[in-house]
Amino acid sequence: MTQNEIKQDVDKYVLHTYNRFPIAIDHGNGVRVYDADGKEYLDFMAGIAVYALGYDFPGYDEALTDQLLKTIHTSNLYYHEPLARAAKALVTSTGLSKAFFTNSGAEAIEGAIKAARKYAWEKDGKNNHEIVAMNGSFHGRSVGALSVTGNEHYQAPFRPLMGGVRFADFNNMESVRAAVNDATCAIIMETVQGEGGIYPADPQFMKEIRKLCDEKDILLILDEIQCGMGRTGKMWAYEHYGIKPDILTCAKALGCGVPVGAFVLNEKTAAHSLEPGDHGTTYGGNPLVCAAVAEVFRLFESTGIVGHVAETTPYFEKTLDKLVLDHVSVKAHRGLGFMRGLELAPEYPVSAVVNKALDKGLLIISAGNNVLRFVPPLIIGEKEIDEAAAILDKCLG
C-alpha cells in the first residue's frame, strides 16, 4: 500500500482518538525509521520511550522468533519458562520482591492502586482509604489511572471518576502534608513527570516523601513507565535518590516494542495485599512478551547500555543548553539522562516546531503546555545528538 492509501484506510476505519502525523512508518533500523514511501527519519521519540534498543537490535528479534515458534499464549493457569526468566530479571533489577505482568502501563497503574487499597484493607478492614496523587501528573487513560492523573483536561469528560483521591503539588512537601490524613493508604507519583512537561523530582522532596510514608505506613507508588529502564542513566530513576518504592510500575522500554507492563511490590506489600482471586489478566505475562522482557534485560547487561546513557548524558545536556543560549524561542532545558525537555516561549507553539522537524527528517514529540520532549533510543551517540541539534537549530529560528 502507498502511504496515502494507508492513511485513507486508517482514517476511514479506525476511531479518531489520535491526531496522527501524516506519515506511515514502515520499518526501522538502529535509530532511524522509514516511511512507506521510503523517506528516512532520525528517531528521537522511540515510539514514546519504548524502543530503548532502537530497531532491529541483534538478539532481540531472534529471541522473539524463537519463542514465536514455540507458543505465544498459555494463560496464567500454567507455568512457563519465559515468565520465570522475566520475573527474576525484573525483581532482581528493582530490588523488590514480587512482579505482576500486565499488557500496558495503564494496567500496571490499576494493579498498583488495587494492591495499595487491599494492603490498607488488610490492616483495618475499612473501605474509606484515600490516595494522594500529584498535580501535573499523567498515569494513563483507564478510569483508575485517570483518577490519579492530575490534569483536568484529561479528566473532565469522564467524571465521575474513582473516589478517594486527593491532589498535591509535585515537589512541594507542604502541599503533600496537607493532603495526607489518617485515611491515606498510598502516595502515587512519577519519579520524573513526563506528559506534565519533564520535571524530575527534587532530591529533598523524594527523601521527605519516603520518610513520611515510612512514618505513617503509607505505600509509596512510583510510576516509572516512561522514566525507568535505563532512561535516566540509572536502571530505575529512583536510584538517583537513594530510596526505594513500595510499589513500582513500569512498561514501555520493559519490552522494547511488545505490549507489556508490570507492577512490582516489595516484600511487605506483596505479603499483605493481593491474593489468588484478587487480580488477573488473560494475556498479561504471556510467553512471547516475557521472552522479550528477559532478552531486554540480558541485552541491557551485556551491552552496558545504562552506562552508555550515563556517559553520554553530559554531551546531550551541553548540546541542548546551547540551543537555549542560541534561540530566544527556547526558555529552559530540564530533565534526567535521555529524558529531556526544551520549554518554548508561548509565542513559539511547540506543534509548529515538531512539524518542521518532521519535514526535515527528525521525529520528536511534545509534552506539557509547550515543551519539546526528547526520549530517543538509548543507543544514540554524539553523532546522532549533533544531527538532531542541527535540524532543531533550523526549526527554532
Over the stretch 180-197, which tens digit does the pLDDT of each residue have? 999 999 999 999 999 999
Mean pLDDT of 114-118: 98
126 pLDDT more than 90: yes
Can you name the residues that pair with 262 across neighbouring β-strands?
101, 250
State residue 50's pLDDT score.
Answer: 98
State residue 249's pLDDT score.
Answer: 99
The correct answer on CATH 3.40.190.10 for the domain covering 3-57+304-395 is no
User: Considering the chain, what is the average pLDDT of its residues?
Assistant: 98
397 pLDDT more than 90: no
Residue 61, H or E segment: helix 60-68
State residue 128's pLDDT score.
Answer: 96
Mean pLDDT of 117-123: 98
Burial of 1-38, coded b for 16+ CB within 10 Å and e otherwise, reads eebeebbeeeeeeeeeeeeeeebbbeebebbbbbbbee
Among left, alpha and beta (phi > 0; psi -120 to 50; other), residue 53 is: alpha
pLDDT tens-digit readout, 215-247:
999 999 999 999 999 999 999 999 999 999 999
What's the pLDDT band for 134 if we cut at 50, 70, 90? very high
Residue 316 near residue 338 (C-beta atoms within 8 A): yes
State residue 323's pLDDT score.
Answer: 98
The CATH code of the domain at 71-303 is 3.40.640.10
- What single string gives the DSSP state of each residue in 189-240? EESEETTTT-EEPPHHHHHHHHHHHHHHT-EEEEE-TTTTTTTTSSSSGGGG
Main-chain phi, psi angles of 51, to 5 degrees? -80, 70
Mean pLDDT of 102-120: 98
State residue 11's pLDDT score.
Answer: 97
pLDDT tens-digit readout, 249-263:
999 999 999 999 999
pLDDT tens-digit readout, 337-383:
999 999 999 999 999 999 999 999 999 999 999 999 999 999 999 99
Q: pLDDT over 90 for what percent of the chain? A: 99
Domain assignments of the chain as residue spans, ordered by start: 3-57+304-395, 71-303
Q: pLDDT over 70 for what percent of the chain? A: 100
State residue 222's pLDDT score.
Answer: 99
Note the pTM of the prediction, 2 decimals.
Answer: 0.97
